[in-house]
Chain A
Amino acid sequence: MAILSTLLSYLSSHPSPLRLPQTSQYLSQQAPIFLSSSDSSKDTQETWIVYEQLLLSCLRTGDDASAKLCLERLSDRFGRDSPRISALVGLYEEAAAKDVRELESVLKGYQDILKEDPTNMPIEKRHIALLASLNRTEDAIKALTALLNHSPNDAESWSQLSSLYYTQGMYPQAIFCLEEVLLILPNAYNMFARLGEINYISAQGTNMDGLIESVKHFARSVELCEWYLRGWYGLKLVTGKILELNRADKAGGIERKKIEALNEMATKKLAEIVGKANRRERGWGGFDEAEVEAAKALVDSSDVKTVR
């Protein structure tokens, strides 16, 4: 099979190759083969998508030479002034920078571009990402709020702002931002689970109302996605906490019976997921191994408790 169609089918079965090290490694290993093949000179939409993905994977695995080649061909085709290409150029420069001083000069470059053309969203986002990675969280938050002021329908930015607020311990703000994401993507089960997590953390394990809120968010998350590991994990953890804290028949307006039933259900589901993932059954390979391991530990620890 030709390399282009191989890569395209790989990309369609792994839609976000940067999420896992293995997938980006595979892509960056294919990059030199693709770049020297005749397929690389085709001028179709797919080719350029492949180029972009290869560029990102190569930057991630440290194959700067292939990345540079990809970038050169992309900028030859679309011109360096195109917003998308200019962001990729910036990304390459960030990756190639050797010390903080060089990063600062890249940052300066971003600011110059933004001064000239404030509508350049890709560069604006790179600017924010660079600020965050330089540990200038406050500036990053400021830049993000400026971006969200003119584009309040950008879910990506809202969720990034949420995680920045979260690192600063500003939980109510983080929750607010995640709620904005829900307004844009109403069925994002991972966002519901994330809301549950932040509610749980901000409740500090004692605030009953916060814990109940957290349980509700986790419940919604697994209602939307039946096999969402983080949702079930959180559901089990938080209901366990509530049962431990509260001996009364009612906790925060919810009957103890229901909380117990939820806890039991979550344990069952987690055990099922852990079993299936560990046996590597067909169609159950998508779970993160560390998460499965953590779920196993949680299920095991609760087993010990019930035996005792």
Chain B
Amino acid sequence: MASVQEQTILRDPQLFYWILFPITIVMVLTGILRHYATVLMQSAPQKQDIRAIREQRNLLHGIALRTNLNQLSLSSFTARKNYLVAAYNRGEFLKDQENKGKPPANPMTDPAGMDQMMNMLKGNMAMMVPQTLIMGWINAFFSGFVIMKLPFPLTIRFKSMLQSGVMTRDMDVRWVSSLSWYFLNLFGLRPVFSFILGNDNAADQMAAQMGGMNPAAGAGMFAPGQDPHKMFLAEAENLEVVGGQHEWVLDGVIERLLAAHN
């Protein structure tokens, strides 16, 4: 049986020092730079108005009453429920009571929403700009170089991943091109960054992309564009509904305790 012929390519060992290392080092350094640039560019979290805080927390109060209603006796619960439902229906806790029935303002013109979008834009820019620059740099100087050979065999599917920039059909998959090395670095440096910069670093591509997918997660419960009055009305209705299912935890507690300890 004929043994598989190993492909040998004669490489200048200097390729190793002048391409592999520079790409890696530049990637690490830009990652660190990006982290600090993001930290610098972040604007301080905007202070909330006391009326906005009041609006949010009073809604949370209703939610707490609804979820933990069984801790109270029926009379205590009903008194609280009646108070909250009446206040919610009146719109007593609203931030701006004049705008009660009006449609919500356009999120584009809301200054709080603008601020948030600006922050997102800054984050995206900090990610896109260096990526574009480095990719351009690698394409201009190192395109077409085969710089290393992996010590293990791979299937043909990996060819497009490992040999981008080198259009050779017959080359073994184990050879890695410089552009591919860049991509490997881009996604594989996460542990290095968390080692250097700590866990919450902004250099991490993955975290940035995840954050980009769900920007509303950090924005609190009142996303711009939602009508708080409607939320209050809905909560008032929830409270009315849940009132029918009240069951005090202290009912039968003596029997439960006696049963548990006998």
Contacts and interface: CB of A to CB of B under 8 A. Distances in A.
Interface string A240-259: 00000000000000100010
A150 B72 contact: no
Contact of B257 (A150, A176, A179, A222): A222
Given A219-B254, A261-B258, A262-B258, A150 B50 contact: yes
Contacts of B254: 215-216, 219, 254, 258, 262
Interface size class of A (residues with CB under 8 A): 20 to 34
Contact of B49 (A119, A149, A262): A119
Contacts of B48: 119
A179 B76 contact: yes
Contact of B250 (A184, A217, A222): A217
B64 interface: yes
B257 A149 contact: no
A220 B256 CA distance: 9
Given A119-B47, A223-B260, A182 B57 contact: no
Contacts of B249: 220
A97 interface: no
Given A153-B64, A258-B258, A262-B258, A183 B72 contact: yes
Contacts of A184: 64, 68
B78 interface: no
A183 to B, nearest CB: 5
A62 interface: no
Given A152-B61, A153-B61, A182 B250 contact: no
Contacts of A222: 257
Interface core residue of B47, B49, B61, B65 (most chain A CB under 10 Å):
B61
Contacts of A95: none
Interface of A: 117-119, 149-154, 176, 179, 182-184, 186, 215-217, 219-220, 222-223, 254, 258, 261-262, 265
